[in-house]
Chains A and B, each alone.
Chain A
Amino acid sequence: MKRNLLFLLGIVFLTQFSFSQKPRNHPLVAENGECLRCHGQTVYTAHSTDGRKQTKRPMSQACIIAIPGYQKAIHGSLKCIDCHAEGYKNTPHSPDLQFESVYTCTDCHEGTKKFKRFHLDSIVAGYDKSVHAKAMAKTFSCWKCHNPHTYVNAFSDQTDLKSAITVSNAACLDCHNNAVKYKLLTNKPADNLIKEHVWLKHPELHLKNIRCVDCHAKLASGTFTPHEILPAQDAIRKCTACHSQNSILANSLLKSDKKSDLLGFSNSKSLEYAFIMGANRNIWLNIISGSLFALLLVGLFIHLIFTLRYRKLHKNG
């Protein structure tokens, strides 16, 4: 038992240092000051064309850029007009600017050496087959899930796996748990997530501790985050898909460099924040218990042979 405890303490020790990324915090870009003077606030001041009158107006929620969030975001070092039209320099902004075309991730990142490891081509191929692309081809884009002003890489920017899962799921919940945003994309009634997942033994536990995409999307080879979001009826509903040694999570959420697995726990990455029955097994414990049980059965069998032999001899004579 002491040995098992040491295994467990070892796992906890190892996983404490598996995420050591320092949170990013870009300095404010000077050129963005003019934009953020209005868009970084909840209230802005509108001026009349002759400049004589001015009035305070509430900024539309969708147009507010939370400055601390932008500084922490991957794109926080960019100027606003790197992505937005030059026309935004003029105020008040022309209504036509609302229809400016937005960039997708691949417009900037495709073909660059730095992004090769993200397999953008597989991501795009997966997205093209997703229920989002098929049902909302005209209205959907990368930004519906990955807000460019707050986007952080869930797994390399977070301090622990649980936080990474929360960040990853926030992309889904931003619409699927928000009736107003959901209505912008579809006329269907908003989801009641707990009700939809009540068939699981512990719905809330599952919703908080694994990524939505682990059950609701198909993983393309080479990628870590699946983008082929499946129709709800095609999502994984078999418990043992995850709750087994060959858990599907082993190739995505719990994909590890195998260092921590050396302590004997399968899918050990999850031990940092959970214990997945059937998936977290300890090979040493299995070997010890299996050997002891085999020894017990062999011992009882030998005892039985001796007993029968003795009884036969005793009976005969």
Chain B
Amino acid sequence: MADQTLLYPRWLRLWHSVNGILCLFLMVTGLVMQYASPSTIVFSFPTAITVHNICGILLILNWIIFIIANALSRNGSYYKISLKLIRESTVQFRYYISGMFKGEPKPFKEDSDRKFNPLQQLTYWLAMYVILPLIVITGFIMINIEQLLSDEHGIFIYQIADLLHICAAFFISAFMFIHFYLAALDGKTNFKKII
């Protein structure tokens, strides 16, 4: 059993909690904005925009902290991908959909060299290095709507950014559901490690 305090240092747990809370707020306010209706009760439309913009900027800062901290610590080494990882991910996926119901042992053990199982490693890499940057960049483009709409081609850039932003938000939201579900499968252990 690897040393949990080394695998999940205090800064990482704090970063993860902030990231989770921000994503949750962004998801709810994003839904209020996308499916705006006079009968919305969670947030009013203008409040949702303000909260979404603030949380979005905080998410960018939190992401920058994550990138810097990963570069300065060992944590970055857990987010490497390779073709081998994709093959191993299929083994892990097979375990989740059938092996675990047959009493098979977990195909990959957690240790100081492998903090995540291959499927986690692949999806976390996708979430943090592909989808999150995409959502952050498109969100940042959309904040500058005044400048964009005064430019001849700006509206086209805005519309493309909006569609990409919504698609990326969908994948992040789906990821959060699966992430929470799989973490909950192991009972309180996983939550204790990261919170």
List residues of A whose CB falls within 8 A of some B CB.
1, 4-5, 8, 12, 201-202, 204-205, 208-209, 238-241, 243-245, 271, 273-275, 277-279, 281, 285, 289, 292-293, 296-297, 300, 303-304, 306-307, 310, 314
In the assembled complex, 29 residue pairs joining A and B whose CB atoms fall closer than 8 Å, in A order, are: A1-B163, A1-B164, A5-B160, A8-B156, A201-B46, A239-B36, A239-B44, A239-B46, A240-B36, A240-B40, A240-B45, A243-B36, A244-B36, A273-B155, A274-B149, A274-B155, A275-B158, A275-B159, A278-B33, A279-B36, A281-B34, A281-B35, A296-B177, A297-B177, A300-B181, A303-B96, A303-B181, A304-B181, A314-B103
Q: Considering the chains assembled together, what is the distance between the CA atoms of A238 and B37 in angstroms?
A: 10
Q: Is the CB of A205 within 8 A of B166?
A: no
CB distance from A110 to the nearest CB of B (A): 37
The total of interchain contacts (Cβ-Cβ below 8 angstroms) comes to: 87
CA distance A57 to B79 in the complex (A): 81
- Chain B residues with Cβ below 8 Å from A307 are 100-101, 185
When chains A and B are docked, how far (Å) is the Cα of A244 from the Cα of B185? 39
Q: Which residues of A contact B158 (CB under 8 A)?
A: 275
Q: Mark B32-67, 1 if CB is under 8 A from A, else 0.
A: 011111101000111001000000000000000000
Q: A275 to B178, Cβ gap below 8 A?
A: no
Q: Hey, what's the 0/1 contact readout for B176-188 against A, CB within 8 Å counting as 1?
A: 0110010001000
Of residues 131 through 165 on chain B, the ones whose CB sits less than 8 Å from some CB of chain A are 145-146, 149, 155-156, 158-160, 162-164
Task: Identify the B interface with A (CB < 8 A).
Answer: 33-38, 40, 44-46, 49, 96-97, 100-101, 103, 145-146, 149, 155-156, 158-160, 162-164, 166-167, 170, 173-174, 177-178, 181, 185
In this complex, the member of A5, A208, A289, A310 whose beta carbon has the largest number of chain B beta carbons within 10 angstroms is A289
B35 touches A278 (CB 8 A): yes
Instruction: Select which of B96, B100, B155, B164 is within 8 A of A275 by beta carbon.
Output: B155
- Which residue of B37, B145, B155, B163 contacts A202 across the interface (Cβ within 8 Å)? B145
Q: How far is the CA of A239 from the CA of B49 in the complex (A)?
A: 11
CB distance from B13 to the nearest CB of A (A): 25
Check A277 against B155 for contact (C-beta < 8 Å): no
B45 touches A205 (CB 8 A): no
Q: Is the CB of A8 within 8 A of B37?
A: no
Contact B100 A310 (CB under 8 A): yes
Determine the chain A residues whose CB is within 8 A of the CB of B145 once the complex forms.
Answer: 202, 205
B contact residues around A240 at 8 Å (CB): 36-38, 40, 45
A239 to B47, CA, bound (A): 11
Q: List the 8 shortest-distance A-B pairs measured between CB atoms, nearest first.
A: A278-B36, A239-B45, A240-B38, A243-B36, A310-B101, A244-B37, A244-B36, A4-B163
Instruction: Give the chain A neighbours of B37 by CB distance below 8 A.
Output: 240, 244-245, 278
Flag if A201 contacts B49 (CB, 8 Å).
yes
- The smallest C-beta distance from A65 to any residue of chain B, in angstroms, reads 33
With both chains docked as a complex, state the minimum distance between the C-beta of B143 and any C-beta of chain A, in angstroms: 11
Instruction: With CB as the reference atom, state the residue of chain B lying closest to A288.
Output: B170
Residue numbers in A under 8 Å from B103 (CB-CB): 310, 314
Per the bound structure, the CA–CA distance linking A238 and B170 in Å amounts to 27
What are the residues of chain A within 8 A of B177 when measuring CB–CB?
Answer: 296-297, 300
Q: Can you name the residue of chain B whose Cβ is closest to the Cβ of A297?
A: B177
Task: Name, among B33, B149, B156, B177, the residue most crowded by chain A CB atoms within 10 Å (CB to CB).
Answer: B149
B36 and chain A: residue at smallest CB distance: A278
In the complex, A296→B177 CA distance in Å? 9
B149 touches A205 (CB 8 A): yes
Report chain A residues within 8 Å CB of B40: 240
B178: contacting residue among A281, A300, A306, CB under 8 A: A300
Q: Kindly state the separation between the CA atoms of A238 and B181 in the bound complex, as whole angstroms.
A: 38
| A8 pairs with B159, CB closer than 8 A | yes
Chain A hits for B181, CB < 8 A: 300, 303-304
Please name all residues of chain B whose beta carbon is closer than 8 Å to the beta carbon of A243 when the two chains form the complex. 36, 45
15 further A-B contacts with Cβ under 8 Å, apart from A279-B36, A303-B181, A307-B100, are A4-B163, A4-B167, A8-B156, A202-B145, A202-B146, A204-B146, A239-B36, A277-B33, A278-B35, A278-B36, A281-B34, A285-B163, A296-B178, A310-B101, A310-B103
Nearest Cβ distance between residue A243 and chain B, in whole angstroms? Answer: 5
Provide the bound-state CA to CA distance between A241 and B39, in Å: 11
Nearest Cβ on chain A to B78's Cβ, whole angstroms? 25
Closest chain B CB from A305 CB (angstroms):
11
Q: In the bound complex, do residue A209 and residue B33 qualify as a contact, i.e. CB atoms below 8 Å apart?
A: no
User: Which residues on the A side are within 8 Å of B170 (C-beta)?
Assistant: 289, 292-293
- Determine whether the beta carbon of A238 is less than 8 Å from that of B38: yes
